[in-house]
Amino acid sequence: MSNQILHMQRWQKQVQAGNECFNAHQLFTAVAHYQAAKQLAWQLFTHWEDPAEAVAVVIISYHNLADLYLRRMQLDMAGNELERVHSSLLKEISEEADSARYQALLSGIRRTYQALLEFCQKHRPEQLDALKSRHATELLAS
């Protein structure tokens, strides 16, 4: 079995364990699993053959953690996770020339922007205009 497949299986196990803990309201343990999943996601990201899958794994890892923080009403931490994944993908796209990876990253950036937009609409309406303006600038830069 290839190293990539083993990493993906380890990532899936961490996410599944995190989800089980999340659903059982064992939130501190879920955080540990989701943090481990984030680390594995970035290891997969740089080596995974399917760019769309690699981007999805990264996004899922951060969004799971953001959902957990929302459940705990830790809005700043939830917002930070959403910002981090969005910023990370923007950084990756600025360094990307390969069209398949570029398209996967662009699609991922749309997803992370949408999540940030929804978060701000619900929890930080005062930051909505700044987010929209920043997003337009970031897309032009990439």
With a cut of 80, say whether residue 142 has pLDDT above it. no
Q: Which of 103, 71, 67 is nearest to 82 (CA)?
A: 67
pLDDT in tens, 90-124: 999 988 776 788 999 999 999 999 999 999 999 99
pLDDT in tens, 37-78: 999 999 888 788 889 999 999 999 999 999 999 999 999 999
Model-level pTM?
Answer: 0.90
Residue 89's CATH number: 1.25.40
Element containing residue 9 per DSSP (H, E):
helix 3-23
Lowest-pLDDT range of 1-5, 36-40, 79-83, 105-109: 1-5
Q: What pLDDT, on a 0 to 100 scale, did the predictor assign at position 47?
A: 80
Instruction: Supply 125's token pair.
Output: 């309406």
Residue 89: domain span = 3-141
Nearby residues of 57 by Cβ (< 8 Å), 6 or more positions away: 8, 11, 41, 44, 45, 48
Residue that the structure tokens 């196990």 belong to: 13
Question: For the chain, how many structural domains are there in total?
Answer: 1
